[in-house]
Amino acid sequence: MTIVTLPGDGIGKVVLEEAIRVLEEAGFEADYVEGDIGWEFWKKEGNPLPERTLNLLEEHKIGLFGAITSKPKDDAAAELDPSLKDKGLVYSSPIVGLRQHFKLDICARPCKTYKGNPLNFIRRGKDNTIEEPEVDVVIFRQNTEGLYGGVEWSNPPEEVYEALLTHPKFRKNFGDVPKEEISVSTRIFSKKATERILRAAFEHAKKYGYKSVTLCEKPNVIRETSGMMFKMAKEIQKADYPEIELWNTNIDAQMMWLTKNPENYGVIVAGNMFGDIVSDGFAGLIGGLGFACSAQFNHDTGIGVFEPTHGSAPKYADYDVSIVNPIAMIESACMMLDFIDENEIAKKIRKAVAEVIAEGKVRTYDMKKMPGKPDVIEKGAASTQEMADAIIEKL
């Protein structure tokens, strides 16, 4: 089996290398080929996601992704190689590009409490007691449509503007705004993709014994898209998953309940934007970016890309000794193992990670609640490599 490694930029390169070391030490046998992706290729070639990288993934199906750096349109244009400037090249995020190119429409983001993680969320209970709720949630985020679908305009073309004017609410609320001053980002949901994410969520609940699936949208206000999703969720639950409860929460209320009763939730399903938001919210309860892993895949093609949800953290990228936490990346590699049915190796690695965290001897700077500076190592924080070493030792 061949894995396409996509290190990308900044700390993406560092954590990916450590994850591969852990995979190898855990007995996972594979070849690795590296795919070019990220800022370097934007600057040099005017394309952060070269065709050859797409071909590699098409061929080998499984990608392990570090992180990339993205910058706003104008900053990106300014950093292009002089020979590429003024050619009308427009930067767009290669990770969003990957999702859309391969229709990786299912994104799964588990957030599970590790015992002994000093970053776990705690809450005050009755009689001033301190409670540490055990979170075990998996967020299923629709990954290709909605607000991230890319259908948007500023000063929209005439025919788009005319079409908008046919809507009474547009005439009423925006009719007196000059066209040049209008920006539109659309939120388009298709029935097919909505059904796929809902079914993926219910299937996961069924397979792993979660008692509920919570739809986290806003159907009372966003009537068409969220409304359609809620209606379909009810139909699918009734027809095919009567043993699983369907709960319905609004994204805003959910963000509040997050800290009140996070232990009550199991599988959560949402559209692209709200899924992104609610998964970061839950990630905060289990230790934040150093722990937040994700999988994005399409079962029809068998293509899957596995990545931590954090970015390239440029401010830590050039440290002589890397200080960032590799656990999110290592956990993402475990999700890859699950996807390719190497469950035993995944279990072994997760157990090793849990043991290191519970033991509490080896902790990266985030786990020690230190500000991220080069001196954290001499102050007792583990480096990225030392954390991986500790996990390997447990293996």
Interface contacts to ligand NAI, rule CB under 6 A: 67-70, 95, 289-290, 307, 310-315, 324-325, 328, 366, 372
95 binds, among ligand NAI, Mg ion, none (CB under 5 to 8 A by kind): ligand NAI
CB-nearer residue toward Mg ion: 72 or 88: 72
Count of chain residues binding Mg ion (CB under 5 A): 1
Shortest Cβ 290–ligand NAI spacing (Å): 4
Shortest Cβ 67–ligand NAI spacing (Å): 4
3-state helix, strand, coil in the chain (%, to 5): 45, 20, 35
Please state the three-class secondary structure of 23-47 as a single string: HHHCCCCCEEEECCCCHHHHHHHCC
Shortest Cβ 318–ligand NAI spacing (Å): 13
Shortest Cβ 227–ligand NAI spacing (Å): 30
Residues 381, 365: contact at Cβ < 8 Å?
yes
226 binds, among ligand NAI, Mg ion, none (CB under 5 to 8 A by kind): none
For residue 53 the two structure tokens come to 């990288």
CB-nearer residue toward ligand NAI: 237 or 309: 309
User: Is residue 307 a contact residue for Mg ion (CB under 5 A)?
Assistant: no
76 binds, among Mg ion, ligand NAI, none (CB under 5 to 8 A by kind): none
Instruction: Catalogue the E-assigned strands of 203-324.
Output: 212-217, 245-250, 267-270, 293-298, 303-308
CB-nearer residue toward Mg ion: 99 or 348: 99
User: Which amino acid is residue 151, in one-letter code?
Assistant: V
**Displacement of CA 329 from its chain's centroid (Å):** 11
For residue 292 the two structure tokens come to 């937040």
CB-nearer residue toward Mg ion: 143 or 298: 143
CB-nearer residue toward ligand NAI: 135 or 327: 327
User: Is residue 36 a contact residue for Mg ion (CB under 5 A)?
Assistant: no
290 binds, among Mg ion, ligand NAI, none (CB under 5 to 8 A by kind): ligand NAI
211 binds, among ligand NAI, Mg ion, none (CB under 5 to 8 A by kind): none
| 3-class SS of residue 349 | helix
Residues 229, 198: contact at Cβ < 8 Å?
yes
| 3-class SS of residue 295 | strand
DSSP characters for 180-211? GG-EEE--B--HHHHHHHHHHHHHHHHHHT-S
CA–CA gap between residue 350 and residue 371 (Å, rounded) = 27
Question: Which among 94, 15, 37, 105 is positioned nearest to 327, based on CA atoms?
Answer: 15
Shortest Cβ 66–ligand NAI spacing (Å): 7
276 binds, among ligand NAI, Mg ion, none (CB under 5 to 8 A by kind): Mg ion
Of 167-175, 209-217, 273-281, 315-323, the window that binds Mg ion (rule: CB under 5 A) is 273-281
**Displacement of CA 165 from its chain's centroid (Å):** 36
| 3-class SS of residue 341 | coil
Q: What is the dihedral of CA 346, 350, 356, 357, to 10 degrees?
A: 150
CB-nearer residue toward ligand NAI: 141 or 310: 310
- Contact map string, positions 130 to 169, toward Mg ion, x by CB under 5 A: ----------------------------------------
Of 72-80, 175-183, 272-280, 317-325, the window that binds Mg ion (rule: CB under 5 A) is 272-280
**Displacement of CA 173 from its chain's centroid (Å):** 35
Shortest Cβ 141–Mg ion spacing (Å): 9
Instruction: Catalogue the E-assigned strands of 175-271.
Output: 183-185, 212-217, 245-250, 267-270
Shortest Cβ 279–Mg ion spacing (Å): 7
Shortest Cβ 121–ligand NAI spacing (Å): 17
Shortest Cβ 336–ligand NAI spacing (Å): 15
Nearest-Å Rg of the Cα atoms of the chain is 22
The residue assigned the tokens 């071909």 is: 55
CB-nearer residue toward ligand NAI: 222 or 387: 387
383 binds, among Mg ion, ligand NAI, none (CB under 5 to 8 A by kind): none
For residue 385 the two structure tokens come to 């490599």
Residues 391, 348: contact at Cβ < 8 Å?
no
User: Is residue 276 a contact residue for Mg ion (CB under 5 A)?
Assistant: yes
Q: Which residues bind Mg ion (CB under 5 A)?
A: 276
